[in-house]
Amino acid sequence: SATYENITVRREGRVGVITLDRPEALNALNLALGAEVVAAAEEMDADRGIGAIVLTGSERAFAAGADIKEMASRGYADVALEDFFSTWDRFAALRTPTIAAVSGYALGGGCEVAMMCDLLIAAESAKFGQPEITLGTIPGIGGSQRLTRAIGKAKAMDLVLTGRMMDVTEAERSGLVSRVVPTAELLDVAMETATTIASMSLPAAYAAKEAVAEAFETTLTAGVRFERRTFHATFALADRAEGMAAFVEKRRPDFTHS
């Protein structure tokens, strides 16, 4: 597979791991890094042998935001014509379950990309924020929307308007993160969680992810109807028959992802 300059990519069993690797800029998300993350993630998404993707950074920083030095000299026409940051929409559109394993700074675009992931596992050292206002701009990779849906208007307005950072205690209390773990255990817990998810039936996992994601897009009645039809559709899966048979027969299921 491809070689990358701003990330490293590896695979452990059915889990794909993407590590942001621009330490000189605290993993700031420049366009090259974004293109690499999306290319690597889409390759994993297309691979039926991969059932979960972990996205992580360094101990010091998941990512300290979009690359301010790359943005500084651009004008409106530049960012409008190139549809600056729209590449990241492709990360949000992945079908494979994604886990952000966040240690250190997850600011601006870093917080936004972490929030695109299905689970967000945070180290005790994690710090979240949307400091764009301090630069005279606003979030641009979905922060105003995903943060508000995740933690509500009161906290989202507080963070987006003041640019302050939120520690992991506040982030967990607010509902931003799935779990908080000691910093030294972050990757182990993320890998263990990813391995569990990847051991499930892949088409069932796609359906589960899609159904929960639908809750952010639609009304309750339409969402429940969508869930019900999708639930019914899982009865066409060999894995659904196997999963229920295994329970009845008191054995572990042998999912074939079909």
57 interacts with ligand CAA by CB under 6 A: no
Give residue for tokens 């429940």.
224
Subset of residues 17 to 36 that bind ligand CAA, contact rule: CB under 6 A: 25-26, 28
CA distances from 128 to 125, 152, 227 (A): 10, 15, 32
List beta partners, residue 100: 55, 120
131 interacts with ligand CAA by CB under 6 A: yes
Select which of 104, 112, 140, 156 is catalytic.
Answer: 112
- Tokens representing residue 25 in the block: 């800029």
Clarify whether 172 is annotated catalytic.
Answer: no
For the purposes of burial, counting CB atoms within 10 Å of the CB of 83, is it exposed (0-12), middle (13-18) or buried (19 or more)? exposed
For residue 181, what is the enclosing H or E element?
Answer: strand 179-181
**In this complex, which beta carbon is closest to ligand CAA, that of residue 97 or of residue 129?**
129
**In this complex, which beta carbon is closest to ligand CAA, that of residue 57 or of residue 140?**
140
Select which of 109, 140, 142, 143 is catalytic.
Answer: 109
**In this complex, which beta carbon is closest to ligand CAA, that of residue 7 or of residue 50?**
7
**In this complex, which beta carbon is closest to ligand CAA, that of residue 111 or of residue 200?**
111
141 interacts with ligand CAA by CB under 6 A: yes
**In this complex, which beta carbon is closest to ligand CAA, that of residue 16 or of residue 109?**
109
Contacts with ligand CAA, 62-91, as mask; x by CB under 6 A: --xxxxxx---------------x------
Taking alpha carbons only, the member of 85, 84, 89, 94 closest to residue 40 is: 94
CB of 26 to ligand CAA, least distance (A): 4
Judged by CB under 6 A, which of 36, 112, 118, 239 binds ligand CAA? 112
Could you give the CA distance from residue 111 to residue 214 in angstroms, rounded to a whole number? 21
CA distances from 170 to 13, 64, 101, 148, 173 (A): 34, 19, 17, 15, 5
Name the residues that contact ligand CAA, by CB under 6 A: 25-26, 28, 64-69, 85, 105, 107-109, 112, 131-132, 135, 139-141, 143
